[in-house]
Structures are given as structure tokens and as C-alpha cells.
Structure 1
Amino acid sequence: MANQQLFLGIDCGTQGTKALILDTISGQVLGQGAAAHSMISGANGRREQDTQQWLDAFTQATHQALAAAGVDGQAILGIGVSGQQHGLVLLDEQGQVLRPAKLWCDTETTPENDRLLAHLGGEDGSLERLGVVIAPGYTVSKLLWTREQHPQVFERIARILLPHDFLNYWLTGRHCSEYGDASGTGYFNVRTRQWDVQLLQHIDPSGRLQAALPELIEAHRPVGRILPAIAEHLGINPKAVVASGGGDNMMGAIGTGNIQPGVITMSLGSSGTVYAYAAEPVVSPQPSVATFCSSSGGWLPLICTMNLTNATGAVRELLDLDIDAFNALVVQAPIGAEGVSMLPFLNGERVPALPHATGSLLGLTTTNLTRANLCRAVVEGTTFGLRYGLDLLRANGLQAQSIRLIGGGSKSPVWRQIVADIMDTTVICTEQSEAAALGAAIQAAWCHSGQQDGLAELCERCVKLDPASETRPVAAHVAASQQAYERYRQHVATL
């Protein structure tokens, strides 16, 4: 089968690991697999995972994808790994994991983050020094927390890795990181693309953390070849190249063809993200905008909202509705839900920046308190948060002709229309909804090719837009949505 070039893309997320097999000659995804992870939850917002689960899920999802594709694993030329960002994986001298990984959604380290932020001179100081404002989810506060809560673990730290770095280490035995995922650590300068060693010395003057940092590599550079024992375990070609990989948002950008200016990707998942490619590190003065590096050689200004399908899911559960019944009710209600507003901040919120906020329903009267208005209000409320973020990105100079939608929410034609109307921009879905796994496979092909400028051509071939999903804003809807959005902004202003 010389007319195929096969690559494995892996996306290790919070909920589970997805695998897909991509043929870069035809640009087709040939097969997919998935396996779930569970969470260790505790008091004070603790959210951790056992890293062995990632390895087991990686193996299971890969075997499934190979079987579904009906291909021989010996034909796989390369592997790319996308990982949940910010998570902390600590290894000892022997390469053994010291404790469960602390995740991006863990808020237990909020006090440590507050102290580190004060040390940096607040939000402005953090922006000036690092190009990002450190948040509790970032890796840096997890290091300070480990030092204070688990000193005996801290003493044994030999390597500090992010989730995707850890999977690359398992695959190749090499400790390294690339700029995109490193941007979310909080001890990396996004402008100069270097570790901020002084900040780690502030946490621990002994220099232990500095010595434990992985080597930084360029996005188009492979980490190395897969270890023979792991190749055998996965049923993969032992000559397969392992790509630099990246964070899930960086890989989602590649998997939606968002590698040059003019495209905006919007993900409607349990959290919502909006990001766009930038050729220069133009850091926004707005602390909510994270000017991360991309995993394709540029930058990826990004906003993230904490509440999206988790909020719509909560309302669906409350009213005992399946997805179709829920969508039917959303359509029944008029734009603006007859004055009902939901501020869906069930997890606190990052954009708008209200970490301690709770959710609220406003504007209820005896006549407008209906199931349809509640359903409409939660979809509008979550989408307004994304509009707020998109406005911040636009204020920083980003322009886009269209929005590429991914994530569970993008499968709903009703929601697509609401997004188009609220953003006043045409939206379209990519054919492959697993954008991060697809991006990882495309990046693997790029690293395998050795062509530094070959990424655009690969995206052209492998990222397919779904013309049937294209949704244009309706002028009358746009005006009504703008009014409802202004009402949302007034409610947020009172918080």
C-alpha cells in the first residue's frame, strides 16, 4: 500500500484519550478509538489523575483505532500527542511518577497562585514579565503547593513534565517540551520563548526545579523514535517518529487549519475556548487573553471560559431533557428569552474574570418563567461569554472572515445559528470533530517530513470543512442578539 502514509494522532484529555489513524495522502481519517479516564476529586477543588490511566487508555485507544482502520501498525510512520494543558507530572531519578498529576481544572492551589502573582507585581507585573497572567490552573502554583504540602515528594523531584511531555517521555525516553504547551506553565516567557528560571528559584532557591526542567524544542522537530518495547506494546512500527506534540488547544489549532491569520477556532466543550493564529507575540493588555505560543511556530492568543456544555447539561438534567428535546425548547423561545438572563458561572469564571462568581438567573417574571426560556437563556449566556472573549481578541487586532467550530456543542444546528448571530460572523464545522487528535497526527506528518514549511500543505489536504454545517448570521437576529448581549454585559457589570 505505497499510496498511503499513515500517522497516529493521540489526544489525552481530562475525560479520556482519543486515538485516530490519518492517511496524509488521501487526507482521510481511517479509524478511531477511545478510552476513559477517571478523576481523583477532593476538598478545596482538588482535581488529580493517576498517570497510569493515561498509559492504559493510550494503549487501548491505539489498538481500537488500528483495528477500526484495518491497518497494520507496522505501517505507522509517526505519532503526535496532544495533551490537556497545565497539568503537573513529577518524576524521580528513576523516571517513576512521584504522585498523581494535578490538573488544569484543580483550584486547590489558588492561595499559592495569589502569593506568586503578588511576587510578580500583580496582573500587570505578570503580563510584563511572562506575557501571560498566571492563574490557579497553571503549573507554577502546583510546584509551590507541592513544596509546602508534600516536602518529602518535593525533595525527590528530578523531572517536571506536562501531560503531553510525560507521554512523549514514555514513548521515547526523552524529556523535552515545545513552546506551545510550555506557555501555560507560568514559568515560561512567551515573548522570548525561554523558561523563567528566576521564578523557579524564588519557589526553591536550591536550584532543584531549574535542574528538573525539560529541554525546549521547536514545533517541527521530532522528539525522537519510539522505544522498541513501547512499539511492541502498542503494535506500532519501531521506526515511527514521535512529534513534538503540544497542548490540546495548540493541536486543535492545527486540526482546524488555524495556522495563519484570518481563521478563528471556537471550541464548544465542557469549557469554551476561542483562539487565533498570530505571527507576532502581541500581548494584549487584557489579563484574560493568554498569548500562548502555537505548536506550529507562531503564537496563539486564546481565551477560555470555564462554563459551557457543563452549564447547558445542568439545565438539561434539571428539566430531564434529552438533547433533541432541549434543542426544540431553545428554538421555541425568542432571542433574549423574553428577558430571562442566565449568568452560567457554575464553576466561577475566567472570562469574564470572576473566579469567585456563582451562577444566577435574572429577569424572571410570572409570565417568562418557562422551560423554553430557561433552555434558551443558558445557551445564550454561555455563548455571550465567548462573545466577550472574542471582543477582547478583536480589540487586540485579530480579524476573521469565519469561525471554525469544534466540540460537542458544534454538532447542534440550533447552537451554530445562535453563535453566528451573537458573533455576527459565519460559522462552519470541520468534518473531523476530534480536532486535537487530528492536529497531532498532522503535526506527526510534518515532523516526519523534515520540511519546515510543509505544514500548510498538510492542513490543506487533511483538514476538511463540512459545507452542510455552514451557518450565516441573519441580520434581524444579529440586532436582537446584540440587545440581549448588552443586557448580559450590564448584569455582569454588577458583579
Structure 2
Amino acid sequence: MYVGVDCGTQSTKVMVLDPEGERILGEASRPHRLDEGEGGRREQAPADWIAAFCGAFGEAVAKSGVDAGAILALGVSGQQHGLVALDAAGEPVHPAKLWCDTETAPWNVALVERLGGEAGCLEKLGLVLQTGYTASKLAWLREVHPQAYARIATLMLPHDYLNFWLTGERVAEAGDASGTGYFDTRTRRWRHDVLAEIAPELDPGRVLPRLIASREPAGRVRPAVARELGLADDVLVSSGGGDNMLGAIGTGNTRPGLVTLSLGTSGTICAHSPEPVVDNPLVANFCASHGGWLPLVCTMNVTSATTRIRELLGLDLASFGERVAAAPIGAEGVTMLPFFNGERVPMLPEASASLDGLTSVNTTPANLCRAVVEGATLGLRYGLEQFGPLAEGVSEIRLIGGGSRSPVWRQMLADITASRVVCPQVTDAAALGAALQAAWCHRAGAGDGELAELCTRLVHLDESSRADPDPASVAAYDEVHARYRRCLAERHSIT
């Protein structure tokens, strides 16, 4: 039996997988508190992740009917980019600053300039620094909280921290490290010179975790933790990775031709590539957590945006969905740029949301609901277009995230992107991917269990969720897309 863990923004999920029986035996989750403040501050206490993991683990194992002592390995997925800075005793010097924190936007602008602009970032890192990445968070901590900064002994990401708590080992892997902003995504190495630009007082050889390969274990569960969880001795912990990398594994996206798209708090789009993709600064040239690369585009406002409008109108999910379905394509001329949290793609970290085309006739709850869903989805189309030839060769979009449960949204996405869309049966793809990676890592010594074979057997598609593009709707959405792009050009000079 294998366990997959996904430490996300809103909760930590735990899944118990039986690969021989090809089924999930138990699942559970526990929520996290998100601390929000002025200027885009979004932070969490790492101790909350541990408490959530322990609670969810106990419940998932109980539901599975399996003795915890039968678990062979664990894999951990984590929200990317969060800064977990530890002191010499392994305690956080400050709450973890998250991927969705935009307070550090000015520090990111300054770092990009110091590294030589977009061209300099691409040359040094294989991608362009974004506000969400770890680098600007570290620069912010150095300037705003110098006493906490002075205590730093180790720099980690959320999944690295959970691995550290489980094993006592300070390690990192290329997939999640890709989003730090001080890692070369082409050579899979830390860039000590870039870290020196961000935090000149820190010794890279001391504060950066040891890099391990994706199939290499992070370590074994510490005896004290094993006793607390009821595990046997020497349970293996795989390298783990960022939620996008493990989500790709959990959707079977380990070869070219597929796209994984998440309709979550944010929207993420990724496609496997055997080579680095460094020709577009809006595409993050991340490494995959199974080999190769996983170029990725992230938009900041998806279910976070739809939830704001839904709650503003006092609607539950079912009523919101009914209103989206009731409004026509194009929401009778209402266009929303739903940049409530700023935006990453297009690169508008300080943007705000806007509505265009409102009249006394079309300002209805149904049109507002439709417009926010269309705006979020058109933003995802904008992101998908950034992949260029890689997107043109896509055979299928595999859809995950909370929004994937909506048939209306699935069909809208198929029509807006003119692509086939289908959901995996298991939509908690990052937790499943973590469990699959754990099995792959555990079986490496026996020479079997190649990841592609595991994905073929264990990643099943929900054919009832399939949505094929409707030619008439595709044509109608091309006109809506043109209107969306005009709004981008007029308000933000994005052509």
C-alpha cells in the first residue's frame, strides 16, 4: 500500500492506494487557515500543515481498512513557491509566504532588473521570475523582517518541509525547485550566483537543500513519526514535488500530446516536453517530477474569481451553475477581466478586476455569473496559446480542480479552446500522483513498476465527463475571445 499527500492552499489531502487492486482504499482531508492582509499578503503557519496531515492520515487509513503498518512508502505533493525559511533548530523564522502572495511584487520587479531583465533571467534560470516565485519572498523577508532573516539556516518549499518533518532530511527535487527563482531549470542545478543577488548574506552551500533525482527517495520516516502514525520501521518517502508536477503524474501526463488543466483557486496548464521550453517568458520552463520538463502557465483567478461573484450574489454552487447555464454565450455583451488577485499571465501583478459592456438591459445576475466564468476560461485560453507548437499538438485536455465538476464549465472550456476535454476518475490528481510516485520510487530497487506503466493501469478517465467542442459554439466564442482581447488591449495594453 502507498500513501499520497497533497498539501494545498486550502487543505491537506491524504490518499491510500492499492496498486495491485487498482483502487483507492481511503481518502481524507483537513483544512488550513489562510492569513490574508493588505497589499496582497497571504501566509500560513507550517505547523498547520503538519496537524492537517496527521488528522487526514489517520482518517484515510481508518477508512481504507488497512493497517498502517502495511504502508510501504509515502509521496508528498505541495503548493509551489511558498517560502519556508527554517532556523538552525528546524523551526520557521516567519510564517510561510505562499504562491498567491502578491505583496512582494515590487521586490520581484527589482530582482528581474538586477538579473538583466527577461533576457538575463532566461539566460540564468531558463525562465523569467514571477511575483509568485520564492525569490521575491526571500528578498522581502530580508528587507522587511531582518531579524527573522538573520536566523535562516535552511530554505525550503512546502513539500520539502513536509519531507523534512517526515524524514529529518533537508532535500529538494528539480520539479518544485524550478519555481524558486534561484534554480537553473535547464541544467537542474541551484544558481548560487543568483541567490547571492537575492540574499547576499546567506551561504548557498549551507542554506540550500541537497538536490535529489525524482526517483530517488527523500529518506525514511523518522522513528518518532512512524510511532505517531502507526507506520512500520523504514517506510520510504519519495522525492515528492510541486502540486503541478504531481498533478501531471496523477492525470497520466507523462508524455507529449496531453495537457493537464486545473480549474482550481488558480488555473494551471501544463504539457510534458522532452526538451526545455525557453522561448516565451510567460511560460514557466519547469522540470517534471518524473523526468523531462513540464512547461507551465498559471493564471491567478479561476475559482477564486467565480467564488467572489457567487458569494456577492448570495448564491450556492447549484444556483450559480444554473445562472451560468441560463445566460447565452457571451453574456449578452458583458465582459469581465477577473483579475481580483492581480494576474500572472498576462503579467499584471497589480491589476484589478473590471467589467465592460454593461447596460440597463444586460446587467443581470445570470450574465454576471456567465461573464466571470467566461473571463476565467478565456484567460486560460490566453495561457494555452502561449505554448505555441506544443499546444498545437495536443490530443486531449485532462481537466482537474473544483471547477471540473461543472458540466457547463467543461463544455465551455472545450468550445473556447476547440479541444476535447475529459476528467480523470480521480480528480485529486496531485495526491494520486504523489502515491504513484511513491510506488515508482519504492519499486525502483526491484527493477519494475515503471511510472508510465503505473499511470496506464491506475489513471482512469471518466468518460461521462467528456466534452467535445461544438463547431457553432467554437465560432461564437471566437467572437467573444476577440472582445476579451480588445478589453485587454484597452485596459492593460496587452495585444
Superposition TM-score tier, normalisation by shorter sequence: over 0.9
How big is the shift at 1:453? 7.3
Residue aligned with 1:66, SS: helix
Instruction: Report what 1:127 is aligned to.
Output: 122
Asked if 1 retains the 8 angstrom alpha-carbon contact of 2:102 and 2:349, the reply is no
Question: Hey, what does 2:461 align to over in structure 1?
Answer: 465
Deviations 1:352-378 (A, max 9, x none): 222222111111222222222211111
| C-alpha contact (below 8 Å) 1:26/1:461 kept by paired residues | no
Distance 1:195 1:146 in 2: 20
Q: What are the equivalent positions in structure 2 for 1:38-437 lying under 5 Å apart?
A: 38-285=33-280, 287-395=281-389, 399-437=393-431
RMSD: 1.4
Counterparts of 1:30 and 1:403 in 2: how far apart (Å)? 27
Aligned residue type for 2:451: L
TM-score of the two chains, using structure 1 as the length reference = 0.96
What is the distance in 2 between the residues matched to 1:71 and 1:396?
42
Q: Does 1:475 align with 2:471?
A: yes
Please give the alpha-carbon distance, in whole angstroms, between the structure 2 residues aligned to 1:47 and 1:128.
30
Deviation track 1:38-95 (CA, whole Å, cap 9, x = no partner) reads 1222332222111111111110010010011111000001000000111111222222
Equivalent position amino acid for 1:111 in 2: P
Displacement of 1:208: 2.2
Counterpart-to-counterpart distance in 1, 2:69 and 2:76? 18
In 1, Cα distance between the equivalents of 2:174 and 2:359?
51
Q: 1:256-306: CA deviations, max 9, x gaps?
A: 000110110110011111111001102132x21111001011111111111
Q: Aligned partners of 1:447 and 1:103: how far apart in 2?
A: 28
3-state SS in 1 of match to 2:74: strand
- Letter in structure 2 aligned against 1:305: T
Residue type of the alignment partner of 2:372: V
Quote the Cα distance in structure 1 between the aligned partners of 2:413 and 2:197.
44
- Number of matched residues? 489
Report the Cα distance in structure 1 between the residues aligned to 2:204 and 2:146, rounded to whole angstroms.
13
Residue identity matched to 2:265: S
For the residues of structure 1 that align with 2:331 and 2:274, how far apart are their CA atoms?
40
Letter in 1 for 2:37: G
Change (3 A) 1:318 1:115: same
Deviation at 1:124, TM superposition (A): 2.2
Q: Is the 8 A contact 2:131 2:349 kept in 1?
A: no
**Mean CA deviation greater in 210-219 or 178-187:** 210-219
Alpha-carbon distance in structure 2 between the residues aligned to 1:79 and 1:140 = 29
Q: 1:370 to 1:150 in 2, by over 3 A?
A: closer
1:98 Cα deviation after fit? 2.0
Code of the aligned partner of 1:293: C
Tell me how far apart the structure 2 counterparts of residues 242 and 373 of structure 1 sit (CA, whole Å): 48
Residue range with higher mean Cα deviation, 123-132 or 255-264: 123-132
Higher mean displacement: 92-101 or 76-85: 92-101
Letter in 2 for 1:255: G
Partners of 1:58 and 1:108 in 2: CA distance? 28
Q: Specify the code of the residue in structure 1 equivalent to 2:415.
A: D
Please list the CA deviations of residues 233-277 of structure 1 after superposition, one character each: whole Å capped at 9, or x if unmatched: 112222211000000000100000001101101100111111110
Deviates more, 1:75-84 or 1:112-121: 112-121
Gaps of 5+ in 2: none
| Inter-partner Cα distance in structure 1 for 2:236 and 2:474 | 48
Q: Distance in 2 between matches of 1:34 and 1:354?
A: 33
**Paired residue type of 1:278:** S
Q: Is the 8 A contact 1:201 1:210 kept in 2?
A: no
8 A Cα contact 1:245 1:440, kept in partner: yes
C-alpha distance in 1 between matches for 2:53 and 2:188: 30
Q: What is the CA-CA distance between 1:396 and the residue it aligns to?
A: 5.1
1:456 maps to what in 2? 452
Q: Matched residues in 2 for 1:452 and 1:488: separation?
A: 50
Structure 2 distance, partners of 1:205, 1:309, is 38
229-238 vs 161-170, greater mean Cα deviation: 229-238
CA 1:398–1:58 in 2, change beyond 3 Å: closer, same or farther?
Answer: farther
2:432 to 438, 441, 454: 438
CA distance in 2, matches of 1:210, 1:115: 25
Distance 1:398 1:166, change over 3 A: farther
Q: Is the 8 A contact 2:212 2:239 kept in 1?
A: yes
- DSSP 3-state at the match of 1:403: strand
Amino acid at match of 2:147: Q
Cα–Cα, structure 1 residues 453 and 67, in superposed 2: closer, same or farther, change >3 Å? closer
SS in 1 for 2:431: helix
Indicate conservation of the 8 Å contact 1:315/1:378, yes or no.
Answer: yes
Q: Deviations over 1:341-396 (max 9, x none)?
A: 11111111111222222111111222222222211111111100000011111345
**Unaligned segments of structure 1, at least 5 residues:** 1-5
Measure the CA separation in 2 of the matches of 1:288 and 1:403.
20
| 1:236 maps to amino acid | L
Task: After superposing the two structures, state which structure 1 stretch, 130-139 or 418-427, moved more.
Answer: 130-139
Q: CA deviation at 1:398?
A: 5.4
Structure 1 contact 405–429 (Cα < 8 Å) conserved:
yes
- Alignment check: 8 A CA contact 1:276 1:398 kept: no
Matches within 5 A, 1:14-33: 14-33=9-28
How far, CA to CA, are the matches of 2:443 and 2:174 in structure 1? Answer: 20
- CA–CA distance in 2 between the matches of 1:206 and 1:326? 51
Q: Which shows bigger deviation, 313-322 or 64-73?
A: 313-322
Secondary structure of the equivalent of 1:291? coil
